[in-house]
Structure 1
């Protein structure tokens, strides 16, 4: 099927939805007879420091599950300071710019966006070299940055970002969007641009999740993922009310809010919150066999964003408690995948938790089977990739 390069700011052993999403794409293209290579930074996310195996190195080439992974130097940072974060992306983008100019690359290249600066640099060089550019848009920047209050509307950085955004859309050969909202936004700017929906479906390949049930235990609600600005888990922990409910909240992950969450739990032992840190994916899934409901929050409704956790935990058979608004809310509600609370409204969240507590573990077990069956039939990564290949995307 030919060679294909993927350019991404994240790739395993880094954690999180972005790294997992790109790895799944690489592996599926490999399974469909493409020769796949990945260009990414030296591993550093989510802690914002180089992993021990990459310290003191400028570049590293690895072979991981038949994928050639080329890692280039980066100044790592997960600081909330936008200057430091921009400097981090700029450091990798600068190295990437010269790499693409001087090294031979395949004629087909998948470019992940965001980060917007990284995708702009990649698309700029690749368009000059007349490559086929497959732009994979997972979130709408700078729109999401405005909604998260990370950028000031109509400021200098906002206007530069708008220029970058329109440039990458205009020069891309074809665009993949993770949500219908993303595709609608792109078509509002470039109505004739060829776009395809590409959901962040997982590839667990499970016959069924082997749940371990103890009727005498409380309902175990869990959050597993990044503890960053967009998720708002720390604020959620501050406002959630569990002491008088038959529910516990268990948190797995790492990120900028980790220390705040740990400190809150230490000072408030009666809040029924438990923190475990980051776990390897297979270890986490084994641990979750005794749990009941996946919590999927966003700090605010972000247009275009559909958290991949809806699909990942749905595929494992977990009902979803969704607290993020937007298209994700519609997916959970319309397909009976769990419960929805109004984004940013903690009164709504706590009222929903009361409903869940009253429902009890028996009914939740029935829901698990329903969710698993729905996900197996509708969240199919193999069918999705084959459909895109048949449409000539890759």
Structure 2
């Protein structure tokens, strides 16, 4: 049985799209007869504190669904203090560096990027050991950081990040990109680099939709995921106009904007806006069976980014109201998965909400069935994995 290692900054029981997509990759490789292991930090995300089962431990080795998971020490933090965040990143970076340097690792290794520093350290050590490095890129850094105003263009940090980015592209044996824009970007730097499209398709393992369209109740929209700066959920709550519409918006998640969102909802005393906190994936999907439409926002258009929520909720049969621009906008429009409003244009978003509010429940039910069928054909993780394995990617 061929061995393969995955290096990731996130893995369950941590919650969120990043942890979910890496677990899906690991499980699919296991299903295809690979012996899979994962290296990641001790569980701490998204709260930035160690989960109870990992407190007081330097490293942990465990088995999750036949995947060997090696968790290394980290000083966790979600502090807004830049120095504290740097210390947190460096702590796991050092743990990872020494582990890769002195421990035996498989010949094939998948390295998740971002975070950029972690992927640089992984690629640096693995290239010294002549490993096959499969670089899996879900977002373009430092480009995304510039677009989010998290990094100043032409600053020392920006130039250093560009050096790290070019290094990992150059040293990777091949690259998986979650979007065509990512692959285009890489080819502008290294035109001959072998790249493959790898979408973050889910694996719900269902053959028919289990959604319920409830009569005589408001149309229920929801957002589920990270409540961070990039998603702009706080700004969404401040600008969305539900007054007089037969609509509700329900929020699920955790992150940096959580307390501000809770305070805003409490101050508005709204009967149309609700916050439910963070749920694990199975519990969330059970709750979503009675919901109608997923809203997928981004604060700004981020080149290369395609939110995995498009595939996650489309595959359940849920229509998408997309508000993030870029390649994701094209997917929703071309596959007729719902509605698109231009990123940052709340006037257009509120007009789309008026359209949605006029839908009958029978129209919504038909949309759900059609979208579920479309996603079954187009967002098939097994087909994607089989194609990449046939091309000798893994």
For normalisation by structure 2, the TM-score amounts to: 0.99
User: Are positions 1:134 and 2:128 aligned together?
Assistant: no
Partner of 2:39: 39
Q: Can you list the C-alpha shifts for 1:66-113, whole angstroms capped at 9, x where unaligned?
A: 000000011111233443323222110111001111100001000000
Partners of 2:280 and 2:138 in 1: CA distance? 23
User: Are positions 1:341 and 2:344 aligned together?
Assistant: no
SS in structure 2 at match of 1:270: coil
> Could you tell me whether the CA contact under 8 Å between 2:111 and 2:135 is conserved in 1?
yes
Partner of 1:246: 246
For normalisation by structure 1, the TM-score amounts to: 0.99
SS in structure 2 at match of 1:30: helix
Partner of 2:159: 159
More deviation in 326-335 or 81-90? 81-90
For residue 215 of structure 1, report the CA deviation from its aligned partner: 1.5
For residue 271 of structure 1, report the CA deviation from its aligned partner: 6.0
> Could you tell me whether the CA contact under 8 Å between 2:209 and 2:369 is conserved in 1?
no
Structural mapping, 1:51-200, within 5 Å: 51-200=51-200
Q: Can you list the C-alpha shifts for 1:228-272, whole angstroms capped at 9, x where unaligned?
A: 111110110011000211110000111111111111111112361
Q: Which runs of 5+ in 1 are unaligned?
A: none
Partners of 1:288 and 1:378 in 2: CA distance? 22
Q: Can you list the C-alpha shifts for 1:153-209, whole angstroms capped at 9, x where unaligned?
A: 000100000000000000000000000000000000000000000000000011223
> Could you tell me whether the CA contact under 8 Å between 1:179 and 1:199 is conserved in 2?
yes
> Could you tell me whether the CA contact under 8 Å between 1:82 and 1:150 is conserved in 2?
no
> Could you tell me whether the CA contact under 8 Å between 1:294 and 1:313 is conserved in 2?
yes
For residue 212 of structure 1, report the CA deviation from its aligned partner: 2.4
Partners of 2:110 and 2:169 in 1: CA distance? 13
CA-based RMSD of the aligned residues comes to 0.9
SS in structure 2 at match of 1:349: helix
> Could you tell me whether the CA contact under 8 Å between 1:242 and 1:271 is conserved in 2?
no
> Could you tell me whether the CA contact under 8 Å between 1:42 and 1:60 is conserved in 2?
yes
SS in structure 1 at match of 2:151: coil
For residue 29 of structure 1, report the CA deviation from its aligned partner: 0.3
Structural mapping, 1:229-378, within 5 Å: 229-270=229-270, 272-378=272-378
Partner of 1:384: 384
Partner of 2:21: 21
Q: Can you list the C-alpha shifts for 1:113-159, whole angstroms capped at 9, x where unaligned?
A: 00000000000000011000000000000000000000000001000
Partners of 2:37 and 2:289 in 1: CA distance? 34
Partners of 1:174 and 1:13 in 2: CA distance? 29
More deviation in 194-203 or 340-349? 340-349
Q: Can you list the C-alpha shifts for 1:269-322, whole angstroms capped at 9, x where unaligned?
A: 236110100111111111111100001111100000000000000000000000
- Equivalent residues, number: 394
Partners of 2:268 and 2:69 in 1: CA distance? 44
For residue 35 of structure 1, report the CA deviation from its aligned partner: 0.4
> Could you tell me whether the CA contact under 8 Å between 1:208 and 1:317 is conserved in 2?
no
Partners of 1:220 and 1:355 in 2: CA distance? 14
Partners of 1:376 and 1:83 in 2: CA distance? 45
> Could you tell me whether the CA contact under 8 Å between 1:243 and 1:270 is conserved in 2?
no
SS in structure 2 at match of 1:249: strand
> Could you tell me whether the CA contact under 8 Å between 1:144 and 1:303 is conserved in 2?
yes
For residue 359 of structure 1, report the CA deviation from its aligned partner: 2.2
